[in-house]
Every structure is written in C-alpha cells, then in structure tokens.
Chain A
C-alpha cells in the first residue's frame, strides 16, 4: 500500500516536473531584478519568497477565475536560476493533471499585475513575466487640453493689446483733428521748410505758381 502511494506520488511529482520545463507551452517565464529595483535594500531570494510568489499567483488566479479555489500547490515552479528566473505552470484545483491554459493565466496576471508587483516591491520592468505585455497605464486625459488654456490666456492678452492700440490711436487722431484747424497754418510753413532741408535730391522745393515759365511765349 505504502509502496503504491509512494510510487504514485513520485509519478505525480515526475509528471508535474515534466510538464513544467523551459519553453513549456502552458506556462510562463518570470524574471526578477531585485537588486536593480531596490539597490541596497534588496532582499535575498529564498524559499519563503518563492512561497509568497506562488501564493500571490494563486491569489491572481482566484481573482480571475472566480469560484475556483487555487492553492499554493497549484502553482508549480521549476528551472530556478540564480538570476532569479524560473518557469511556472498552473494546475487546475479541481484536477491536478489538468493545466490551466496560457490565455487564462495571462489574463489573470494582467488583471492583478499591480498587486503582484507591490507584494514584491517591484515594477513591471523588474518583475518581468516574459511574453506578457504589461497593461500600459492610461495616460491621464485632461478634461480641457492644457495647451488650449495657455492659448486662451495668451490670445486674450494679445487681443486686448490690439484693441487698446487701435482705440488709443483712434483717440489720438480725434485729438489731432480737434487741434488741427488752429495749427494748420503753422504746420504748413514748418513742413515746407522741413521738406526743403531734408529732401535734397528727390524734390526741388515747392513750386511757386505765381512765377510760371512763360518762355514758350516769349521766345518768339
């Protein structure tokens, strides 16, 4: 009797070992980079940590496949290296010879990725499930794009500036037209004087019409 049980156990564990191997189609490889993430505060990877890992994975499976009571024993781990990387497969709690397919395991892990990461104080990059793409966090979508706010502020200021300039120049013109009837004569003289001084080449001064060129009539 004992022999039989022992044999079955060995067979079972042998079976489990066979199914869990590198590049298994039912499992995933995990890579941890504890030192990279935590530096001096890195904890050592030992059996207890592995136990925690299997427990969190069982938790993730329970969350995803509601109703099924996954246990630590359902998470089979193998091919552990010093890198801290290993492969795991998940067996069904109802029937240990049955493996949970990859899609379900992947979905479960993605769902509870955050919880798994925080159990180990790691991130998506340092606790790597090879071939499981991390669910990229939703980038924060602002209700109003901030650039429109900046645009509104700047354009408001510019628009106000334009209106002020136009209004001020209109007001200045009005003041000038009110002043003008009085200053007109002085302006004329001043301007003609100024003109003859400044425009040496282009113009010949104001042509005085009272002394016209009558040569064409006197040449005869």
Chain B
C-alpha cells in the first residue's frame, strides 16, 4: 500500500496506483467526458454523418495518439507533475507547467457548475409527472405562463426555473440559492473522490468510469426499440461526402480530438507520474485514445436514436394539429357532408386537404397550417447543455417510465463529468505537491479540501442570473485556445529541447521497445505542424467571429428566438485576459529564468578570483 509520510517531505515515497487497471480507467475517465456524449454526435450530424468519421480518425492518428503517448511517457519517466516535468526538461519551459495548472484550475471551476446543473435535474427526476413536462399556470388559473407558452415547457424549466437567467450579461441578477446548494453538493462529491489524491480517486473511478458504459448500453437497447429510432440513426450516419471539402470540418475534427483527449491539462502527466517506470506507455496511449473515440461513436448511437424518436413524436403532433384544423374547417364549411369527427385521419388527411384546397383556397390560407417535415424536426438537434437539458428531457417525457430514464441519464452524465473533474484537479494538486508548496503541518485531506473550497467560492459567479453567459465565456476562451498553444510548446520542447533521441531512449528503457517510424514521424514533424496549423486557423476563425452571444430574453420581440447581443467592452477584456493569462506564463517564466541566468553570469564575471573555478560556482 502507499506510505506517504506527510511529515518527512524530502524522503517520501511517491503514491502509486494499486494496479494497472486503476491507472488505465482513470486516464480513460479523464479523457471520456461530457463532450463525448454531447459534442461528438452533434458534430457528426452537422458535418455529414458517417463522412465526419474520416477527418476524425485521421486527426486521432496524426495528432491525438502522438500527443497522448508523449504526455504519458514524460510523466512516467520524470515522475513529476506538469510543473516539475517541464522544469526538469528545461527551466526556461517551466511556464508550461504553470500554464497547464492554471487552465486546469479555471476549467475545473466551470466544469463543476455543469455537474451542479446535472445534479439539479437528477434531484428533480424523482417526481411524477416530471416537472419539465407541463407549463405552470398563472395566478388566475386561466392560462399557462406566457414565457412558457411561447417557448416550451422544457425551455421554461431550463431557462427560468433552473437558471433564472437574466436577459443579458450585464444584468447579474442575484445568487440563486438552489444553484448554490447544487454547486456545493457537486463540490462535496468531487471532494469525497479527490480527498486523498489518487488513493481515493483510484477507488472512486471503478464506479464512475464503468457506470456510464452500462447506462449507454441500456439506453442503446431501449432506444433502438423506440419508433422513429431508425430515422434518427439513418440521418446521423448517412455520409454526405461533400462536407469533406469544407476546411472547417477538418478544423473541427482536429479540435474535437484534441479537447476530447484532455491533452495539455497536465492531468495525464500527473496520472502517469504515479506509475512504476517500467511500464509500457505506448500500449496505454493506444488503449486510452482508441477507447475514447470508440466511446464517442458508441454514445452517438443511442443519442441519435432518441433524437429520431423525438423528431418522430414532434412530427406526429404536428400532423395531428393539422388534421384537427382541417377537420374542423371542412366540416364547418360543408355541413352537407355526412361525416363526423375522426373521419379525417392522418392517413387520408392529404386527400381531404387537397379537396379543401380545391374548393376554397382562401379558407386554407386562413387555417395557418404548419408544414410538417420530418427532416426539419431531425435537424433540430443541439449540442452541449442544449442537448442534455432541453432536447433530451423533451424526448424522455414521451418514453414510458420517464423517471427511470431521466435518473439513469443524469447519473451517467454526472459520472462522466466527475471522472473528468478528478483529472482537472489532479492537474492542480500534483504540481503543488511536487513544488512543496504545501505546508508540512497540513494533512493532504485539508489541502484538497482547501482547493475545493477556494474553487467553490470563485465559481459562485456561475450561480448568478447571468451565470450561464459567464460559463459560455469560460468554455470558449479558457478551455480552447490556451490548450492548443500549450500543447504545441509541449511537443516542441520534448522533441527539440529535451531531444527526440533521448526521449526514444527513455521509452525504450521504460517499455522495452523503441518507438517505431509512425511515432517518430508524427512526433518530429506531423503533429507539431498540424498543431500549428490548427492553432492558427482556430485563432483566425475566432477573430473573424464578432464577439456576440445569444441571450434568453422573454421581452424580446421575436421571442422565443434568441436575441444575439455583442459583448460589452469590459467583458471582451475579460475574455482576452482569460485566454492570455495562462499562455503568458510561458514567456514570463522563460524571461524570469533568463534574467536569473544573466544575473548569475554577471556575478561570476565580477567575482573572478584565482581560487574560484567553474565547478563550485555552477548554480544553474
């Protein structure tokens, strides 16, 4: 078992994994997160279904696996967290570790807010009927609340009863007490897993990583038996090869793989640093990378089957509305017809409609019939929180036994997010421990509790009325570009500063096999080049898009359409800061070290004495 003496810091044995399975499951849990479930299916559907798999798999092979292998290998070899690793390789690149740590902390803060929302929905799934099924009635009991009526009950539940969202980001609103409660409970869950570092994480992940796969399988079986499931699946997987000509598809595939594998957070380096050094990290990287992609594809099947079911339901409702409208009208117009209700059905609707159109077209106009096209309903998919909290909750209402499905779904999402949170926080804890910044008197449990408490306090901004807007900002500006830049410098540092030959030797020593030509080619040229192109393209695309955001404003003229507003100046400044601060630490630390080197060099030049020699003065 692990013997970590917090009292004797200098000579202490590093904690280690109980077994290889624990380590692999933790890495898989860190990589597999909410994005696999709610980002990948959306991309697949937007970018031509089955055709998207091609750029996705190419990106995995050329970019994802090499970077993954590299991070696992250096962590395992140098046995330090991200700050320590980069400091060891070259003190000038120590900023990389600081940047990773900062990004991990910032992402951890907003990621847990999403877990808080998931908990809120989870707690509400134990009611019959589900609270997002019906619109609440107004005080007179004459009608439903207008905000709910104009949009839909699921939208109302999400935007009003959960978020209590303000119309724009300048209006902060107040702290929503129910969200604070949920956020506190989310942090308690994280703490209980994280309390002793990898000792406790290693136990927790057995449940949190395997359970989602179980739930996905259950959903798969259930979803495939729903009517309309095949429509959704056909729509998802039908390849549209034309999309491959659009460079944005390739860019999105590359960024999706990169973010999906949770690279550059420092969490993977931290996890592999607790491995014994004689461990085959090549197979580990291949396993983690392939399982991650497999999970994405596997998750998209039930998601899209359920979306197909929902589209089918919407289509039928639309048809029925039209049938009723036509029925009422036909029979009102022509009393001579000896027909009662129910004679116009969904099947003969078209004939009756044509008849009505022929006899009285102006009447048809006044009917205001909606065109019911299954495709429009299928296209109404969403990604991110929209998929989970709006689209999926609407689908689940119509499934028999809705409470069970809702509970299962939200537990699955919670587990997926929790295991990713462990990785985020470990990317913060391990560097702090390696830098010996923890006072010796403080037990580890208190320190991890302190980290959770500080993060909880800062992330209270996400419980404000405008919290969702802030979360979008953090998501777009912290969790994206800084990571690409960090990863680029990581691979350049390892290959060209540490030395690719030295790296190859290390891997040969650790795993017994020298990395083959595939790894050599990707590490030396392909991956850095690809990362550079992707980073630049990403920055260019972000810069082209004006900084706007969509808001939920019930007083908007075209409500329920979202009102798109520009970010106010101070918010743009904050966005810039969020992107810049992690990245700026890279040159800052290099500069700091360089200044220190210069000072020393000048000191040695001044203090030249015959009795001194370079050996005893080599500080650097």
Hey, which bits of chain A sit against chain B, CB under 8 A? 31, 33-36, 81-85, 133, 135-136, 138-139, 146-151, 154-155, 158-159, 161-162, 165-166, 169, 173, 176, 188, 191-192, 194-195, 198-202, 213, 215-216, 219-220
Stretch at the interface among B581-589, B590-598, B611-619: B611-619
Asked whether any CB of chain A lies closer than 8 Å to the CB of B533, the reply is no
Q: How far is the CA of A19 from the CA of B78 in the complex (A)?
A: 96
Q: How far is the CA of A83 from the CA of B191 in the complex (A)?
A: 65
- Contact-residue bracket for chain B: 35 or more
Asked whether any CB of chain A lies closer than 8 Å to the CB of B363, the reply is no
Hey, which bits of chain B sit against chain A, CB under 8 A? 5, 11-14, 77-80, 88, 120, 122-124, 126-127, 134, 136-137, 141-144, 181-182, 185, 188-189, 191-192, 195-196, 200, 277, 328, 331-332, 335, 337-342, 443, 445, 611-613, 615-616
Determine if B137 and A215 form an interchain contact, defined as CB atoms under 8 angstroms apart: no
Determine if B611 and A85 form an interchain contact, defined as CB atoms under 8 angstroms apart: no
Please give, as numbers and ranges, the residues of chain B lying within 8 Å of A151 by CB-CB distance.
123, 181-182, 185
Q: How far is the CA of A199 from the CA of B434 in the complex (A)?
A: 14
Please give, as numbers and ranges, the residues of chain A lying within 8 Å of B126 by CB-CB distance.
146-147, 149-150
Residue in A closest to B14 when the chains form the complex, CB atoms: A198
Residue in A closest to B189 when the chains form the complex, CB atoms: A158
Determine if B188 and A82 form an interchain contact, defined as CB atoms under 8 angstroms apart: no
A192 and B342 contact, Cβ closer than 8 Å, known pairs A150-B126, A151-B123, A158-B189: no
Residue in A closest to B611 when the chains form the complex, CB atoms: A216
Determine if A219 and B340 form an interchain contact, defined as CB atoms under 8 angstroms apart: no
Residue in A82, A136, A155 whose beta carbon sits within 8 Å of that of B340 in the complex: A82
Listed by A's residue number, 16 A-B pairs whose Cβ atoms lie within 8 Å are A35-B340, A82-B337, A83-B335, A133-B143, A146-B126, A146-B127, A150-B123, A150-B124, A150-B126, A158-B185, A166-B195, A199-B79, A201-B78, A215-B616, A216-B613, A220-B611
Determine if A139 and B136 form an interchain contact, defined as CB atoms under 8 angstroms apart: yes
A165 and B195 contact, Cβ closer than 8 Å, known pairs A81-B335, A201-B88: yes
Determine if B342 and A213 form an interchain contact, defined as CB atoms under 8 angstroms apart: no
Q: Would you give the shortest CB distance from B512 to chain A, in whole angstroms?
A: 16
Contact residues of B: prevailing secondary structure? loop
Determine if A161 and B328 form an interchain contact, defined as CB atoms under 8 angstroms apart: no
Determine if B331 and A35 form an interchain contact, defined as CB atoms under 8 angstroms apart: no
Determine if B443 and A169 form an interchain contact, defined as CB atoms under 8 angstroms apart: yes
Residue in A closest to B128 when the chains form the complex, CB atoms: A146
* Interface pairs A-B: 8 shortest CB-CB: A83-B331, A35-B342, A147-B123, A150-B123, A33-B341, A81-B335, A136-B137, A147-B124
Determine if A191 and B11 form an interchain contact, defined as CB atoms under 8 angstroms apart: yes
Residue in A82, A85, A202 whose beta carbon sits within 8 Å of that of B88 in the complex: A202
Residue in A136, A161, A213 whose beta carbon sits within 8 Å of that of B144 in the complex: A136
Determine if B142 and A136 form an interchain contact, defined as CB atoms under 8 angstroms apart: yes
Q: Would you give the shortest CB distance from B503 to chain A, in whole angstroms?
A: 12
Residue in A83, A146, A149, A219 whose beta carbon sits within 8 Å of that of B611 in the complex: A219
Q: Which of A35, A138, A162 has the most CB of B within 10 A?
A: A162
Q: Would you give the shortest CB distance from B617 to chain A, in whole angstroms?
A: 10
Determine if A155 and B342 form an interchain contact, defined as CB atoms under 8 angstroms apart: no
Determine if B136 and A202 form an interchain contact, defined as CB atoms under 8 angstroms apart: no
Please give, as numbers and ranges, the residues of chain B lying within 8 Å of A147 by CB-CB distance.
120, 123-124, 126-127
Determine if A158 and B192 form an interchain contact, defined as CB atoms under 8 angstroms apart: yes
Residue in B closest to A201 when the chains form the complex, CB atoms: B78
Sample of 12 further A-B pairs with CB below 8 A, known A83-B341, A202-B79: A31-B328, A83-B340, A84-B341, A136-B141, A136-B143, A150-B122, A150-B124, A158-B189, A162-B191, A162-B192, A166-B445, A216-B616
Q: Would you give the shortest CB distance from B124 to chain A, in whole angstroms?
A: 5
Determine if A219 and B13 form an interchain contact, defined as CB atoms under 8 angstroms apart: no
Q: How far is the CA of A11 from the CA of B3 in the complex (A)?
A: 107
Determine if B88 and A162 form an interchain contact, defined as CB atoms under 8 angstroms apart: no
Please give, as numbers and ranges, the residues of chain A lying within 8 Å of B141 by CB-CB distance.
135-136, 138
Please give, as numbers and ranges, the residues of chain B lying within 8 Å of A202 by CB-CB distance.
78-80, 88
Please give, as numbers and ranges, the residues of chain B lying within 8 Å of A195 by CB-CB distance.
11
Residue in A closest to B610 when the chains form the complex, CB atoms: A220
Q: How far is the CA of A148 from the CA of B192 in the complex (A)?
A: 21
Q: How far is the CA of A154 from the CA of B141 in the complex (A)?
A: 35
Q: Would you give the shortest CB distance from A50 to chain B, in whole angstroms?
A: 15
Please give, as numbers and ranges, the residues of chain A lying within 8 Å of B443 by CB-CB distance.
169, 173
Q: How far is the CA of A192 from the CA of B430 in the complex (A)?
A: 22
Determine if B332 and A81 form an interchain contact, defined as CB atoms under 8 angstroms apart: yes
Q: How far is the CA of A133 from the CA of B445 in the complex (A)?
A: 61
Q: How far is the CA of A188 from the CA of B615 in the complex (A)?
A: 31
Please give, as numbers and ranges, the residues of chain A lying within 8 Å of B14 by CB-CB distance.
198
Q: Would you give the shortest CB distance from A125 to chain B, in whole angstroms?
A: 10
Determine if B188 and A159 form an interchain contact, defined as CB atoms under 8 angstroms apart: yes
Residue in B185, B332, B340, B611 whose beta carbon sits within 8 Å of that of A154 in the complex: B185
Residue in B closest to A188 when the chains form the complex, CB atoms: B11
Q: How far is the CA of A40 from the CA of B188 in the complex (A)?
A: 57
Residue in A closest to B612 when the chains form the complex, CB atoms: A216
Q: How far is the CA of A36 from the CA of B79 in the complex (A)?
A: 72
Please give, as numbers and ranges, the residues of chain A lying within 8 Å of B277 by CB-CB distance.
198, 200
Residue in B closest to A176 when the chains form the complex, CB atoms: B5
Please give, as numbers and ranges, the residues of chain B lying within 8 Å of A162 by CB-CB distance.
188, 191-192, 195
Determine if A198 and B79 form an interchain contact, defined as CB atoms under 8 angstroms apart: yes
A215 and B615 contact, Cβ closer than 8 Å, known pairs A82-B340, A136-B137, A162-B188: yes
Please give, as numbers and ranges, the residues of chain B lying within 8 Å of A150 by CB-CB distance.
122-124, 126
Q: How far is the CA of A194 from the CA of B196 in the complex (A)?
A: 23
Q: How far is the CA of A158 from the CA of B452 in the complex (A)?
A: 15
Please give, as numbers and ranges, the residues of chain A lying within 8 Å of B195 by CB-CB distance.
162, 165-166, 169
Please give, as numbers and ranges, the residues of chain B lying within 8 Å of A85 by CB-CB distance.
331-332
Residue in B closest to A161 when the chains form the complex, CB atoms: B192
Residue in A closest to B131 when the chains form the complex, CB atoms: A147
Determine if A133 and B188 form an interchain contact, defined as CB atoms under 8 angstroms apart: no
Please give, as numbers and ranges, the residues of chain A lying within 8 Å of B342 by CB-CB distance.
33, 35-36
Q: How far is the CA of A35 from the CA of B189 in the complex (A)?
A: 54
Please give, as numbers and ranges, the residues of chain A lying within 8 Å of B188 by CB-CB distance.
155, 158-159, 162
Residue in B closest to A125 when the chains form the complex, CB atoms: B324
Residue in B closest to A191 when the chains form the complex, CB atoms: B11
Residue in B124, B331, B615 whose beta carbon sits within 8 Å of that of A81 in the complex: B331
Q: How far is the CA of A220 from the CA of B144 in the complex (A)?
A: 98
A213 and B616 contact, Cβ closer than 8 Å, known pairs A139-B134, A162-B192, A202-B79: yes
Q: Would you give the shortest CB distance from A72 to chain B, in whole angstroms?
A: 25
Q: How far is the CA of A114 from the CA of B185 in the complex (A)?
A: 45
Residue in B closest to A202 when the chains form the complex, CB atoms: B88
Q: How far is the CA of A155 from the CA of B187 in the complex (A)?
A: 11
Determine if A165 and B192 form an interchain contact, defined as CB atoms under 8 angstroms apart: yes
Determine if A83 and B615 form an interchain contact, defined as CB atoms under 8 angstroms apart: no
Q: Would you give the shortest CB distance from B147 to chain A, in whole angstroms?
A: 16
Q: How far is the CA of A138 from the CA of B445 in the complex (A)?
A: 50
Please give, as numbers and ranges, the residues of chain B lying within 8 Å of A33 by CB-CB distance.
341-342
A84 and B192 contact, Cβ closer than 8 Å, known pairs A133-B142, A151-B181, A213-B616: no
Please give, as numbers and ranges, the residues of chain A lying within 8 Å of B339 by CB-CB distance.
82
Please give, as numbers and ranges, the residues of chain B lying within 8 Å of A213 by CB-CB distance.
616
Please give, as numbers and ranges, the residues of chain A lying within 8 Å of B12 by CB-CB distance.
191
Residue in B123, B142, B335 whose beta carbon sits within 8 Å of that of A135 in the complex: B142
Q: How far is the CA of A213 from the CA of B618 in the complex (A)?
A: 14
Residue in A83, A146, A173, A192 whose beta carbon sits within 8 Å of that of B328 in the complex: A83
Q: How far is the CA of A146 from the CA of B126 in the complex (A)?
A: 7
Please give, as numbers and ranges, the residues of chain A lying within 8 Å of B134 by CB-CB distance.
139
Q: Would you give the shortest CB distance from A103 to chain B, in whole angstroms?
A: 14
